Structure 1
C-alpha cells in the first residue's frame, strides 16, 4: 500500500487553496427566539486521503458548495453546552465548528470534519464505507467578544488524513444582534508587512543574455494500458536567474528545450497526471496536473526543473507544487497560441509558445475541443475593436461630408 506523506498532503491542500474560486457561503445559527447567535461567511476546500479497494491511497478534493446548509445539530448553547455551527453539504459530509469563551474572548474550541466514504462520486472505489470523522482543537481563530473575526487570506488546518483550506472568512459567535459587529479583529495574514531594509550590499544583475528565437513546438504524449492518456504540444523556454560561485552578481540564462533531444515520460491517474521531459543528461522538466472533480476543471499544479547553468556545471533546482495555471474543463484541451510566462519561483519561469495540452480525458490519441486562453481572446478582440473604430471614423467623415455638401448647395438661389 503506497502511503502519501504529510508533505504531499499539505501540497495538495495548498493547491486547493489556490484553486478556490467559490464565493464565501453564509451561515446563521439561531436560538428558539429566532435570535442569531452565530454568523459565518467562509470558503473552504478539503483534501482527504483515503484507501481504495486495491489498497492504494488516493486523494479526494472537495470544495464547500454554495448550497451547503446549517445542520440540525447546530446550537446556540446554554450554561452547560458550547455554541456549535454544523455545516452539512454533499452526500452526508459535515464541518463542525465548536466555540467557547472566557470573560473577554471567544474562540474556535474544536473543529470536526465528517465524510461519508459511501459517496462514490467523491470517494471512488473506497475500501471503507460509512462515515469517518477527524477533529482538532488547534485552530488559531479567536477574537474579543462583540467583535467580528475576519481573515480573507488562506488559512490551513491539518488533521490526520485531511487538510482544510479556509479563505474569505468572517465569523462571530455570541452575537447580540442579527448582524456582524462593526469592530473587526483581523488575522495576521491580512495585515500588510513592511520588509526591513537590507543591510547587505545589493548585488548588481548582469545584462541578460540575448533573446533566443522562439523554441520549436513538439507534441509529447504519455501512455498507459489504455493508450494515450496525456497530450501536450508546445515550445518551451526556460528562464533562469542564478548567482555564479564567488561572484557578487546575478546572471540570467535563457534555454530552449530542444524537441529532437527531448523524450517524454509520465503517469496518468484519475485525479493527477505528470509529464516528465528530459534530454537524458542535463535538463529534466516535470509538469504536474490535477483534476478537481467538484469543479470539473484540470490545472497545472506543479513544476520542477533540474539542470546545469554554466561551464562550471553548477546545478540548478527549482520547484513549486502550489500552482494553478493552464486551467480548463475536463474533457477539453487548453490552448494558447500567445506566449505565456509561467512563474514558478523568484529565479525560474517557463515561457510556453503555441501551447495545447490535455492531461485528462484523451480519446483515440487526439486532442478534444479547445478552451482558449485569455491572451488569445484578448488578441482577437484587438483587431475587432480597431476595425470597428476605423469603420466608425469613416462613417463620421462621410456624414460630415454629406452635411457640408448640403449646406453649400443651400447657399445658391434660382433667379
Structure 2
C-alpha cells in the first residue's frame, strides 16, 4: 500500500507538470451567497480485488464533476458545513468542515466509489459501493483566509487521495475566495535568496532559547448530555521545522502548549473520538483516536496542527491521519510518564510528557486502570534487576562467610 501511494503521488506530480490533471471549481451556495468554494485537482489511488488478482487504479476528478446541492450544506442549525462532489457512475468525494472561531479545517474527507463501474474497475469481484473516511487530514486555515496548497498532498486511508493546485475556503464572508491566504507547509519552502545591495549588512537572528519542559494540563470532551467521554492529562511540546524569510533558511522551533491558555473541545463517536486543543491566537492541535471493535483496541490514528509562528511567512499546517500511537485496550487508559516523540510528518513531531489518556468508556470522570507504555515498563525493570543483583551478591557473601566460619571451627581440637 505504501508503495502504491508513493507511485500515485509521483504520477500525480508528473501529470500535473504536464497539465494532464485539470482543476475543477466546486461551490456550495445558500440563496445568493457562497459559503464553500474549492478550486482543486484530485486523484484517487484505489486498490480492489478482481477475479484473478489485486489491482490498483488511479482515478482523476474529471471536469464534469458537479456539486450535489441536496446533500451539500452551509451548516445551518448547528450542523457541519458539507461539500459533496459527484462524478462518474456513482462516485463521489465529500468534505465536512469545523471551526473554533479562529481557524477552520476539513474535519473529514470521504471518498465513495462504485465497484460496479467496469470502466474504472474492470473484472472487479464485487459490485457494491465502498465508502472511505479519512479524519483530520491536516487542511487548516485562519478564518476569512483561503487555504492554498499548490504542491501535491496525499492523505491515506483505505484509499489514497492526492490534492494539488488547491485553493479552498469555508465559512466565506463573501462570494469569492479571500485574497489573504494560509499557505501549506509544502508551498512555504523557498530556495531563493533575498536581494542584497551594496553597503548593507545582514545580522543573523539570535538562536531561540529552548522553552524547557512544558506544563501538564488536564483536558476533556463532553457528550451531548454533559458527561465526560474523553479524558487526557499531558504536557505537550510542538517540534516544527519551517522556512524563515528573515533568515532565508529552514529553522526548527520548540513551542510549549500552555494549559491555562488552551481550550479543549472535540467529539465522541462509537468508533472514533477527537480532541481539539486551541491555544488562543497561536495554535490548534487536533487528535483523532480510532477503536477497532474486533480486537477491542484503540490507538491515536491522527494528529493535525495549525500554528501561527512568529518568523513564518504563513500559518504552519501539517497533519497525518495514518498514525499508530498510544495503543491500549478498550475500558482502560494509556499512560506514559516518560518523554515520547510522536513523529507526524518530516516537518512536525509532538513531544509528550507525563501523558495519560482515555478516549473511550470514561466513567465517573476518572481514568480507568492504566496500561503502561514500554518505556515506563523498562524503567521499572531496571531497579528490579539491580535489586535482584544486589540481593544475589549479599546472599553469595553470606554463604561464603558461613562456609569460612565452619572451616575455621573445624581447625580447632578439644584438649
The alignment's TM-score, normalised by the length of structure 1, stands at 0.51
Match of 2:320 in 1: 320
For residues 126-275 of structure 1, the aligned pairs below 5 Å read: 134=115, 160-162=129-131, 209-227=208-226, 228-245=228-245, 247=247, 249-275=249-275
Q: Secondary structure at the match of 1:278?
A: strand
Q: Over residues 201-230 of structure 1, what are the superposed CA-to-partner deviations in whole Å (9 max), with x where a residue is unaligned?
A: xxxxx9975543322212111112132221
Q: Secondary structure at the match of 2:395?
A: helix
Match of 1:98 in 2: 51
For residues 389-408 of structure 1, the aligned pairs below 5 Å read: 389-408=389-408
* Gaps in structure 1 of 5+ consecutive residues: 1-9, 15-94, 100-106, 112-132, 141-156, 167-199, 201-205
Q: Secondary structure at the match of 1:254?
A: strand
Distance 1:286 1:365 in 2: 21
What is the aligned-residue RMSD (CA, Å)?
3.9
Distance 2:399 2:211 in 1: 50
Match of 2:14 in 1: none
Q: Secondary structure at the match of 1:364?
A: coil
* 1:320–1:345 CA contact under 8 A, matched in 2: yes
* C-alpha deviation, 1:320, in angstroms: 0.8
* 2:245–2:311 CA contact under 8 A, matched in 1: no
Distance 2:336 2:405 in 1: 50
* C-alpha deviation, 1:267, in angstroms: 1.3
* 1:207–1:252 CA contact under 8 A, matched in 2: no
* 1:98–1:110 CA contact under 8 A, matched in 2: no
For residues 325-364 of structure 1, the aligned pairs below 5 Å read: 325-364=325-364
* C-alpha deviation, 1:252, in angstroms: 2.2
Distance 2:376 2:54 in 1: 46
| Alpha carbons of structure 1 residues 96 and 385: separation in structure 2 relative to 1, 3 Å | same
| Alpha carbons of structure 1 residues 345 and 96: separation in structure 2 relative to 1, 3 Å | closer
Q: Secondary structure at the match of 2:349?
A: strand
Q: Secondary structure at the match of 2:401?
A: helix
* C-alpha deviation, 1:134, in angstroms: 4.4
Distance 1:283 1:267 in 2: 19
* 1:338–1:376 CA contact under 8 A, matched in 2: yes
Match of 2:295 in 1: 295
Distance 1:366 1:406 in 2: 60
Match of 2:386 in 1: 386
Q: Over residues 340-384 of structure 1, what are the superposed CA-to-partner deviations in whole Å (9 max), with x where a residue is unaligned?
A: 211111121111112111111122322222222222222211111
Distance 2:117 2:403 in 1: 79
Q: Over residues 276-306 of structure 1, what are the superposed CA-to-partner deviations in whole Å (9 max), with x where a residue is unaligned?
A: 1112211111111111111111111111111
* C-alpha deviation, 1:389, in angstroms: 0.8
Q: Secondary structure at the match of 1:378?
A: helix
* Gaps in structure 2 of 5+ consecutive residues: 6-47, 58-113, 133-156, 160-190, 192-204
* C-alpha deviation, 1:391, in angstroms: 0.4
Q: Secondary structure at the match of 1:266?
A: strand
Distance 1:341 1:135 in 2: 44
| Alpha carbons of structure 1 residues 401 and 316: separation in structure 2 relative to 1, 3 Å | same
Distance 1:252 1:109 in 2: 41
Distance 2:115 2:311 in 1: 53
| Alpha carbons of structure 1 residues 110 and 207: separation in structure 2 relative to 1, 3 Å | closer
| Alpha carbons of structure 1 residues 393 and 250: separation in structure 2 relative to 1, 3 Å | farther
Distance 1:224 1:374 in 2: 31
Match of 1:374 in 2: 374
The alignment's TM-score, normalised by the length of structure 2, stands at 0.51
Distance 1:277 1:110 in 2: 37
Equivalences, count: 243
* 1:327–1:334 CA contact under 8 A, matched in 2: yes
| Alpha carbons of structure 1 residues 288 and 109: separation in structure 2 relative to 1, 3 Å | closer
Match of 2:23 in 1: none
